[in-house]
Structure 1
Amino acid sequence: MATSKGSKKRSKDAATRAARGHHENGSSPGDAPTVRWILDPEEHDYPAAESYLCLLTDPEVAHGTVIALREASPEHFKAKDILRSARLALLPLTNPHVASDLRKIADGTPLSPVLMVRGDLHEGRPALIADGYHRVCASYLTDENTDIPVRIVDPTRR
């Protein structure tokens, strides 16, 4: 049991260091880690997005939207703007998924782009992060001005 507790503490410490800009190798905050991104979303991101969207709309729209996300070109938005447009709170670095992404950032491991559904200003509908909320929060905690690659589409029925 002590090993598990010690392991959790080390993970939390690594996440804290990453959020404060410390690398695992001990470099200083002046050498804050750069958030790196892969070009295309990972394959498992799409079913995760579709599952989430099925909670908000009918399965046909969720499926059509995910097909559109697969075909969308990447755009770039700041972490702070993504959270504001989705009207989501910043998750703390103690969140296990955020902590995991912070460790990846500290280690230089690229993150998967974010999948979003565009909001509607006139209807007052916020944007939706269909997949990548934890990655956005980890990126924000590293640098709120990080440019994040996003695939963003309007809800689509196909």
Structure 2
Amino acid sequence: MKQPTKQNMENIWLKEPEDHDFPAAQDYLELIYEPTEAAKLAKKLKAAKTIIKKSKDIFRASGLHILPADNKHIQANIQKIVERKKLSPILLVRDNGRVVIADGYHRLCCSYYLTEDLDVPCRLVSR
């Protein structure tokens, strides 16, 4: 698989999350929170402003491990970047000193493999 060039990595993000990201985030959040709480958080994510954080910092705050670079979803996101298709921002929930990645875990892993210092647009809300 081709690897992104410096030119490919310029402006790899959409300015706003895609519409289908919010129901996906809610679906994931329902595994952690009661459905009514998950729905409220998804609504807050949709209304929040997009901010920028570093991929390494998001990982540290989440406590999650990075998936292997050969993961098919990570490879698919890398291929999108090679093809100059933009990735959707990450959706995050702050909860008791940690960050829950509600949507965008594979995109975040992909961005970390490109460079851990990559600026990642995200929406961040508190529980």
Q: What range is the shorter-chain TM-score in?
A: over 0.9
How far apart, in 1, do the equivalents of 2:38 and 2:96 lie? 17
Q: 1:133 corresponds to which residue? A: 105
Contact 1:114/1:151 (<8 A) preserved: yes
Q: Does residue 1:118 correspond to 2:94, yes or no?
A: yes
Q: 2:8 corresponds to which residue? A: 33
Q: Where in structure 2 are the equivalents of 1:43-122 lying within 5 Å?
A: 43-121=19-97
Cα deviation, 1:117-142, whole Å, max 9, x if unaligned, reads: 01323xxxx21000000000001101
Q: Which amino acid aligns with 1:95?
A: N
How far apart, in 1, do the equivalents of 2:95 and 2:118 lie? 21
Deviation of 1:33 (Å): 3.4
Q: State the Cα RMSD in Å.
A: 1.4
Contact 1:53/1:62 (<8 A) preserved: yes
2:102 is paired with a residue whose SS is strand
Q: TM-score w.r.t. structure 2 length?
A: 0.93
2:107 is paired with a residue whose SS is helix
Count of matched residue positions in the alignment of Structure 1 and Structure 2:
126
Contact 1:33/1:142 (<8 A) preserved: no
Q: Which amino acid aligns with 1:97?
A: H
Give the ranges of 4+ consecutive aligned residues of structure 1 lying more than 3 Å apart after TM superposition. Answer: none
Q: 1:5 corresponds to which residue? A: none
Q: Which amino acid aligns with 2:116?
A: E
Between structures 1 and 2, the one with greater strand share:
2
How far apart, in 1, do the equivalents of 2:68 and 2:82 lie? 17
Q: TM-score w.r.t. structure 1 length?
A: 0.75
Q: Which amino acid aligns with 2:24?
A: A
> Any gaps of 5 or more consecutive residues in structure 1?
1-13, 24-30
Q: Which amino acid aligns with 2:125?
A: V
1:118 is paired with a residue whose SS is strand
Bigger-Rg structure (1/2): 1
Deviation of 1:107 (Å): 1.9
